[in-house]
Amino acid sequence: MTACAIPNQSDRSVVRLVSGVPDAYRVGAVRIDPPVVLAPMADVTNGAYRRLVKRIAGPGLVVTELISTVALHYRSQKTLNMFDVTEDQRPLAVQLFGADPQIMAEAARIAVCAGADIIDVNMGCWVPKVCKTGAGAAMLRDEDNACRVVEALVRAVDVPVTVKMRAGWDYGHLATAGLARKLEQIGVAAFALHGRFAVQGHSGEADWNLIREMKQALRRPLVGNGDIRSPFDAVRMFQQTGCDGVMIGRAAIGNPWVVRDIVHYLRTGTLLPPPGFEERVQTALIHVCDLARTLGEGRAVRHLRGQLPLYLRGYRGAARVREAIHRAETIRDVEQIFAQARHHLRDEPDPPVWDIGRTPGENVTVPAASRPC
């Protein structure tokens, strides 16, 4: 298998489901089947990784990185390149962030022209550079403007509009069910809720009770997000909250197989064996090769320095691989580093791609440059 070959797709022929788990849900006219979503993650869910996860895992929906509507307004080529829409990603949601209704509406039209099947509004990003503009989770502190923005989007495009949000800005400002009902009346087709407040970032535990309460308050589909790191977590999310879908975020960074395993388990109730060393290496190389087509080789390698080592997470000696890749400049460098690792690690048992013993709230460490909103 060559470095840039395409891996086998997951088997989509099995239809038997785990009890209590829906087979699909709808966002307007778009069917999300299976009800598993790859979360929008800054610096992670570019076109290369969306294609990779779709091929390996077959989630029902993938979402772009959060995209600046102001940058689209000024026709930033770098930002326009972030769409990278291809047919093998569909259905695809484009996530936008911004606080100006007119600029958001303009950006939504651009996204639809670029091929978006769904427009998603970011009301969950808590990082200061986003919130200081009034966008992201800061919109939860200005419900009137949040409603104006969403109404402008619903009127501007003929594809479904969805909202991904946090439980509120902080513990004193719970903004889930009340705001969601207002947005539902405006025309939002579905919601995703991360069960933490904005001020928490990724600390503490996601409160799935908030997801259950929001689901009970809404008529439109709700996707649960936060602390889903294994197939068992996904089933518990469905059963404890009654949500219509699950969204996988940080656990999938450098690890498309966790999405694969969740999809497979929801369909069959059985677990897949972990990928072997060669599959992990080839998948990492496919990732960087594909990204190089849009960013160029040098930028792609530098962009993925923090993510490529995660493909070998769990192997003894993987820390040496991480140190070496942090110095890599070309794809050939990456290939040579993996070749050296192959000599040392190929006879080790393959580690699992998710931790059956991890408890809710226990964080996965990811590189700072790859931390999603």
Report the range of poorest mean pLDDT among 224-233, 307-316, 337-346.
337-346
**Greater model confidence, 168 or 2:** 168
Query: Rounded distance, CA 346 to CA 207, Å?
Result: 40
pLDDT of residue 225: 97
> Is residue 314 scored above 70 in pLDDT?
yes
Choosing from 4, 113, 125, 243, the catalytic residue is 125
Does the fold of domain 277-345 match that of domain 25-268? no
Query: Rounded distance, CA 245 to CA 231, Å?
Result: 13
For the domain bounded by 277-345, which CATH number is listed?
A: 1.10.1200.80
> Is residue 328 scored above 50 in pLDDT?
yes
> Is residue 13 scored above 80 in pLDDT?
no
- With a CB cutoff of 8 Å and minimum separation 6, the contacts of 48 are 84, 287, 290, 291, 293, 294, 300
Q: Does residue 147 contact residue 115 with C-beta atoms inside 8 Å?
A: no
Query: What is the pLDDT of the chain when averaged over all its residues?
Result: 90
**Greater model confidence, 364 or 75:** 75
Query: Rounded distance, CA 239 to CA 231, Å?
Result: 13
Active site (annotated) includes residue 113: no
- Residue 312 sits at the vertex; the CA angle it makes with 300 and 310, to the nearest 5 degrees, is 50
> Is residue 352 scored above 70 in pLDDT?
yes
Beta strands in the chain (DSSP E): 25-27, 30-32, 36-38, 61-63, 67-68, 92-97, 118-123, 161-166, 190-194, 222-225, 245-248
Closest CA to 164 of 135, 206, 192, 202: 192
Show me where the domains of the chain are located. Answer: 25-268, 277-345
Residue for token pair 């699950």: 246
Domain 25-268 part of CATH 3.30.1280.10: no
